[in-house]
Amino acid sequence: MKRRLATLLLLVAAAAVLFAMQRSTPRYDELTGPLVVSGRMGQAVRTRLFDANVERVEFARRLVYQRFDRETERTTSGLWAIVTVELSARSRSVNVGQASWVGPRGFQYLQTDRLALAPGQSPPAAEPGLPRRARYIFEIRPDQVGGAVLRLSERFAPRLDSEARIKLDALPRKPDGALDIMDTFDMNPVRKEPS
């Protein structure tokens, strides 16, 4: 009787262990997923291929830029978020082409594709020893502003390669503490007046 009980207990225990092992086995996707490098605004986040330093975040309701000498306007049902990043490559030229804005509840907003031929929207190629500024623009819902994270990598969904995750914690504020949202953001480079 005692022996049977022991066998039964052993069986139950084995089933429980097997169930736990089955549930906790990491999936292929997790095993080969991105190697996360976390950081925050204003500090250089060092990944395998590049260093990234988020300088500022701006918000606007409207974007304007010159395309073929014609003023082009882009509106949105939400907000335009403009993130300025200083990039420098580490050992070889690298295109930091994949950026996304991940909101507080995990919604992932990829870079907008509605700014064809806008200035400064070519893929941001960084060269070793030559730091440069890149501008990433997202179309987001207004409730995705606080507690967001910027993800930067060389390609979409990096496998066994590093991905920078930078907390966007220094948002532009008005003196009264409300979020500072510009009506219009001019994407054109500042032109020098001919003297």
Partner 1 sequence: MRTAFGKIKTRLAAGIGSTVAVGAAAVYSVLGAGPPPPVAQYGAGSAIEAGRWRVTPQRAWVSHKRVYGVPIKPGQQALVLEADLSNRTRTSTGSYSNLLRLQLAPGAKPEDPIVAQVRDPQIGPLLHPGMPERVVYVWMMPGSAAPPASLAVDVVAETYKPVDNLYGTPGWFNPAVIGRVTLPLGPPPAGAEQAS
Q: Under the rule (CB under 8 A), what is the footprint of partner 1?
A: 27-30, 73-78, 100, 106-110, 112-114, 116, 139-141
Backbone CA torsion sign across 82, 88, 91, 92:
positive
Written as one letter, the residue type at 147 is: G
Greatest CA span in the chain, whole angstroms?
Answer: 103
CB nearer to partner 1: pick between 51 and 139:
139
CB nearer to partner 1: pick between 50 and 138:
138
CB nearer to partner 1: pick between 75 and 91:
75
Q: How far is the CB of 89 from partner 1 (least distance, A)?
A: 27
Q: How far apart are CA 84 and CA 35, in angstroms?
A: 23
Q: How far is the CB of 31 from partner 1 (least distance, A)?
A: 9
Q: How far is the CB of 54 from partner 1 (least distance, A)?
A: 20
**Spatial contact of 83 and 121, defined as CB atoms under 8 Å apart:** no
CB nearer to partner 1: pick between 50 and 74:
74
| 114 phi, psi to nearest 5 deg | -100, 10
